[in-house]
A and B are shown apart, each in its own frame.
Chain A
């Protein structure tokens, strides 16, 4: 099962390696990991997408909690939550493809943020599925580069991860 784990961690050098090292040392999967400081610069918020059985996810949260610099851990995928990922995708835009790319961007409510004679850079935000669908819709032969941020997640409504 796929899980989205959010955590607050001290914004100190080496904190990221403690988390990533834990995953590799214990053989857990990381599908994506994003991290950046929060409104309180002494703290970072991390979103980890992982897969595993219930037992493994339980161990992952326990092991993360055990890291001295980790302040709080929540599996936000246990209930209603929102996930977003940012993608910057550079595509070939010549001839008839140029109009087609523009149309595709409109359909997916993406934005073209850089234009040259031969290419567009398209910015698209959404959940993983939407981004995957866009990539599939364009087709590999027109894609020059794909850059994805990995997922950011937040619980809906009253569910707040805060110190």
Chain B
């Protein structure tokens, strides 16, 4: 069948069973939009800014197990998409971004809306392609999806010049991809896994530390099974929340800069640390030299060899897909009918419980003023702990991560690596489209929400009943917190003046807006919002301006050097 390049692109998306494409049209992609118009299998979601297109596709991918797809035009369309692409890259989210390019003959001529998209995006994609011949479109898109979803996932960009999308050729979609230069490891090394199991069974003070890799490889079930089989304490990073049920006794909460006392102390003082799909990020272990002071054996399971021994020297590396490695570990333990050293484990748990008894997540609630932590706690109650929760970046993100207890994977969507303000609403759009009947909440702040607020319009067009919980403290809260603690209280440019009336703003977009000022109204407002099944509700909570996120490990400090509350200052 002879088709135009544009028609081929859309046929490829159909072959890949793509449900939604998030995008924004423009000159260089007019043929693609024409091809979209003539079919109804792939649905297009028109956003209001290309950044949101990529974030929404990213949120769709994070909340499902599929590849997110975005479509943007050349020049500014592509540059607007860059923040979204870099965000997905830092968190290893599988995505394919299709960008239009000026016609082949105009490339390099400083044409209207021309940028070197492949050059600009090169450092923030897993891979990218410029397609110069219509015959290459189908094989390239096949490769793009393959690269995006296999190995360590990531965004892949395909740049298509306008003339290439217009030219015609015979279409056939390749069955498989073969690349001599790309063969990611799947199964872990048997011998290494055997040694790891041995080390785990002999451990006296074991600890399991897992990250986003467990969620990306869909290994929550295996992780839960292994952790229960071993009876060890476990912590999930910001990117890994929900991989192990937060309501379980063995779970110690999140580690790191704003992690729990018990998780950080256990990470630091364990004798065997099993790291799975995590990368010893600076926000997780603090100062690596301080972390290295305490002797411990580290087993590190990761699909990306370059994540191993990057910041922390590892004793036992296992390169492989997390799910396959965990399956193998479980079957080896079960086959040997072995159990860890119960006596030592008992003593270790006693120590861990002592740390846990400090109850580091307690906060002083108030009858006068709304505490942001209280809003998240109530959100958890009202949604039965079963919502998809997205956040932006800052204090509200940490409170959402700390106080919404995630029992399932892919329920918590946030920008952990790049820390991109503005992702919350588009992530919620992606999640709501993927799960039309689910409760989707966007926990945000008055600063972050304004970075993609235009998407309220998209939400109206596509009838997305997202519940926005705006923890409005009139400050760039995390900036203010650092300025208070480390810059002598000089609040340089961290105060937000001239804010809109968010309730009225939401109403002007055709949504429901509710301003909440008293603690006693929090629960009622949340219940009302979630009872409105078909409406987007913008809840504007006026929260305590001075509240800080605790516990806190300052940048550059060791994991055990925590500020637990304002009294520690």
Tell me if B181 counts as interface (CB < 8 A to partner A).
Answer: yes
Nearest A residue to B123, CB-CB: A25
Measured in the bound complex, the distance between the Cα atoms of B306 and A63 in whole Å is 6
Contact A62 B180 (CB under 8 A): no
Nearest B residue to A8, CB-CB: B181
Nearest B residue to A14, CB-CB: B118
Most buried by B among A62, A65, A163: A62
Contact A14 B122 (CB under 8 A): yes
Tell me if B119 counts as interface (CB < 8 A to partner A).
Answer: yes
Contact B122 A71 (CB under 8 A): no
Tell me if B486 counts as interface (CB < 8 A to partner A).
Answer: no
For B119, list chain A residues within 8 Å (CB).
Answer: 17
Tell me if B147 counts as interface (CB < 8 A to partner A).
Answer: yes
Nearest A residue to B124, CB-CB: A25
Tell me if B383 counts as interface (CB < 8 A to partner A).
Answer: no
For A68, list chain B residues within 8 Å (CB).
Answer: 126-127, 147, 179, 181-182
For B181, list chain A residues within 8 Å (CB).
Answer: 9-10, 68-71
CB distance from A86 to the nearest CB of B (A): 28
Tell me if A103 counts as interface (CB < 8 A to partner B).
Answer: no
Which residue of the partner chain, among B147, B180, B182, B306, contacts A59 with CB atoms under 8 Å?
Answer: B306
Tell me if B309 counts as interface (CB < 8 A to partner A).
Answer: yes
Measured in the bound complex, the distance between the Cα atoms of B310 and A17 in whole Å is 23
For B202, list chain A residues within 8 Å (CB).
Answer: none
Tell me if B305 counts as interface (CB < 8 A to partner A).
Answer: yes
CB distance from B282 to the nearest CB of A (A): 15
CB distance from B476 to the nearest CB of A (A): 28
Measured in the bound complex, the distance between the Cα atoms of B119 and A21 in whole Å is 10
For B523, list chain A residues within 8 Å (CB).
Answer: none
Contact A65 B305 (CB under 8 A): yes
Measured in the bound complex, the distance between the Cα atoms of B310 and A62 in whole Å is 10
Nearest A residue to B151, CB-CB: A66
| B residues 174-210 touching A (CB-CB < 8 Å) | 179-182
Tell me if B327 counts as interface (CB < 8 A to partner A).
Answer: no
Nearest A residue to B119, CB-CB: A17
For A71, list chain B residues within 8 Å (CB).
Answer: 180-181
| B residues 301-321 touching A (CB-CB < 8 Å) | 304-306, 309-310
For B179, list chain A residues within 8 Å (CB).
Answer: 68
Tell me if A81 counts as interface (CB < 8 A to partner B).
Answer: no
Do A55 and B127 form a contact, CB below 8 Å, given A10-B181, A17-B119, A66-B304?
A: no
**Is the contact region of chain A dominated by helix, strand, or loop, or is it mixed?**
helix
Nearest A residue to B305, CB-CB: A62
| A residues 14-69 touching B (CB-CB < 8 Å) | 14, 17-18, 21, 25, 55, 58-59, 62-63, 65-66, 68-69
Measured in the bound complex, the distance between the Cα atoms of B168 and A142 in whole Å is 61
Measured in the bound complex, the distance between the Cα atoms of B305 and A109 in whole Å is 46
Measured in the bound complex, the distance between the Cα atoms of B192 and A50 in whole Å is 31
CB distance from A41 to the nearest CB of B (A): 15
| B residues 330-358 touching A (CB-CB < 8 Å) | none
Measured in the bound complex, the distance between the Cα atoms of B180 and A28 in whole Å is 27
For A25, list chain B residues within 8 Å (CB).
Answer: 123
Measured in the bound complex, the distance between the Cα atoms of B127 and A55 in whole Å is 25
Contact B122 A17 (CB under 8 A): yes
Nearest A residue to B152, CB-CB: A66
Measured in the bound complex, the distance between the Cα atoms of B183 and A70 in whole Å is 11
Q: Mark B279-315, 1 if CB is under 8 A from A, else 0.
A: 0000000000000000000000000111001100000
Measured in the bound complex, the distance between the Cα atoms of B305 and A65 in whole Å is 9
Contact A62 B306 (CB under 8 A): yes
CB distance from A56 to the nearest CB of B (A): 10
Measured in the bound complex, the distance between the Cα atoms of B183 and A163 in whole Å is 13
CB distance from B236 to the nearest CB of A (A): 25
For B305, list chain A residues within 8 Å (CB).
Answer: 62, 65-66
For B127, list chain A residues within 8 Å (CB).
Answer: 68-69
CB distance from B8 to the nearest CB of A (A): 21
Measured in the bound complex, the distance between the Cα atoms of B180 and A68 in whole Å is 10
Most buried by A among B126, B130, B181, B310: B181
Contact B180 A18 (CB under 8 A): no
Contact B123 A58 (CB under 8 A): no
For A18, list chain B residues within 8 Å (CB).
Answer: 122
Nearest A residue to B307, CB-CB: A62
Measured in the bound complex, the distance between the Cα atoms of B130 and A71 in whole Å is 20
Q: Mark A121-156, 1 if CB is under 8 A from B, else 0.
A: 000000000000000000000000000000000000
CB distance from B107 to the nearest CB of A (A): 12
Contact B123 A21 (CB under 8 A): yes
CB distance from B330 to the nearest CB of A (A): 28
Contact B122 A66 (CB under 8 A): no
For A59, list chain B residues within 8 Å (CB).
Answer: 306, 310
Nearest A residue to B183, CB-CB: A71
CB distance from B391 to the nearest CB of A (A): 28
CB distance from A55 to the nearest CB of B (A): 7
CB distance from A52 to the nearest CB of B (A): 14
Contact A58 B309 (CB under 8 A): yes
Nearest B residue to A65, CB-CB: B305
Measured in the bound complex, the distance between the Cα atoms of B127 and A21 in whole Å is 13
Measured in the bound complex, the distance between the Cα atoms of B314 and A89 in whole Å is 48
CB distance from B284 to the nearest CB of A (A): 19
Q: List 24 A-B contacts (CB under 8 A).
A: A9-B181, A10-B181, A14-B122, A17-B119, A17-B122, A18-B122, A21-B122, A21-B123, A25-B123, A55-B309, A59-B306, A59-B310, A62-B305, A62-B306, A63-B306, A65-B306, A68-B126, A68-B147, A68-B181, A68-B182, A69-B127, A69-B181, A70-B181, A71-B181
Closest 8 CB pairs of A and B: A62-B306, A68-B127, A71-B181, A62-B305, A68-B182, A25-B123, A63-B306, A66-B306
List A residues at the B interface (Cβ < 8 Å): 9-10, 13-14, 17-18, 21, 25, 55, 58-59, 62-63, 65-66, 68-71, 163
List B residues at the A interface (Cβ < 8 Å): 118-119, 122-123, 126-127, 130, 147, 179-182, 304-306, 309-310
- Further 7 A-B residue pairs, CB within 8 A, beyond A14-B122, A68-B147: A59-B306, A62-B306, A65-B306, A66-B305, A68-B127, A68-B182, A69-B127
